[in-house]
Chains A and B, each alone.
Chain A
Amino acid sequence: MRTVAVLGAAGGSGVTTVAAHLAAGLHAAHKHALAFDFSPDNVLRLHFGMAWQDTSGFAPALLADGDWHAATYRSATGLDFVPFGQLASDAELDRLASFFTAEPLWLRKQLQQLALPSETVAVCDCPRAPGALTAQALAAADLALLVMAPDAVAYAVATRTIERIRALGGPPAALLLNGFDPARRFDRDIAVLLRTAFQDRLAPVTIHRDAFLNEALACKQTVFDFAPSSQAAHEFAALSTWVLARLAREES
């Protein structure tokens, strides 16, 4: 089992979209993937067709009786995923954060104990703010994928975030530019800056802005099902291939 933590350099980076499509891209390439939602927004599941009203997930199950395994689902296309679930209150979220602070390797141990093929890649969707949940995912991860939109604040924050992951003793981090529009001068400038500043820490795949991504989510699908010929589908397929290669490099 190898794990990729997907987190954002700033709000609105498209972290959940990237996490969903990375897992779906691996699945489409016939690699076993597990999409694990570590964000209280509980949105990852919607990409895989789960009902909006369904409040099930690992977090409420864990807080209720400690066993979360019943909160594992399989999408119509056969992708396994674990939704975060809906917590009843902020106090419950605080309780969960306290548990994770006391058990910093909980997720790593849980993933290792799952009876899944050894080549499985778990993809964790991390919350916006740093904290116990993100730290938990980073402690389990073999690779951190830092997603940033072409945005000045995201660019400013990205360097600090990568340094913070390193300071925390986290996994190797790679940066992914998401929502790129080549028609915009600013986007092109950001891409030039990233290539110079981050070099091999910048993923060689850039995800372009693509309206099919929004439409696919509105239909509770990924672009692999909704628009398989779209640019986004091709780019996420390429990202999945690159992530596999990068994980193999980290192992060797």
Chain B
Amino acid sequence: MKPQQQPATSSDIASLFSRFGAMSQPGNYQEVVRQDAARNAALRWPLLAEVQGLSANPAAPGSE
């Protein structure tokens, strides 16, 4: 059984349009998704966030 797909929220769509506009390239989208994933990964761990020059997430790291 396939998991149900979550519908995109209006804020997601607004965010996409604000970053790319309506005529953006799919490659750009993939690159930004990758960068967002890296940013989120770094923010979970204060030292990694510091190395990346980001402010660490105050939430406890390691929680799934």
Contacts and interface: CB of A to CB of B under 8 A. Distances in A.
Interface of A: 152-153, 155-156, 185-186, 188-190, 192-193, 195-197
Contact of A156 (B35, B38, B51): B51
11 contacts: A152-B47, A156-B51, A185-B44, A185-B64, A186-B45, A186-B62, A189-B48, A190-B48, A192-B37, A192-B38, A192-B41
Given A195-B34, A196-B35, A189 B51 contact: no
A189 B51 CA distance: 14
Contacts of A188: 41
Contact of B38 (A152, A153, A186, A193): A193
Contacts of B64: 185
Contacts of B51: 152, 155-156
Nearest to A199: B34
Contacts of B38: 192-193, 195-197
Interface in B35-64: 35, 37-38, 41-42, 44-45, 47-48, 51-52, 62, 64
Nearest to A189: B41
A182 to B, nearest CB: 14
A188 B61 CA distance: 13
A196 B30 CA distance: 12
A14 B62 CA distance: 25
A203 to B, nearest CB: 18
Given A156-B51, A189-B42, A196 B62 contact: no
A156 B47 contact: yes
A165 B17 CA distance: 41
A174 B59 CA distance: 34
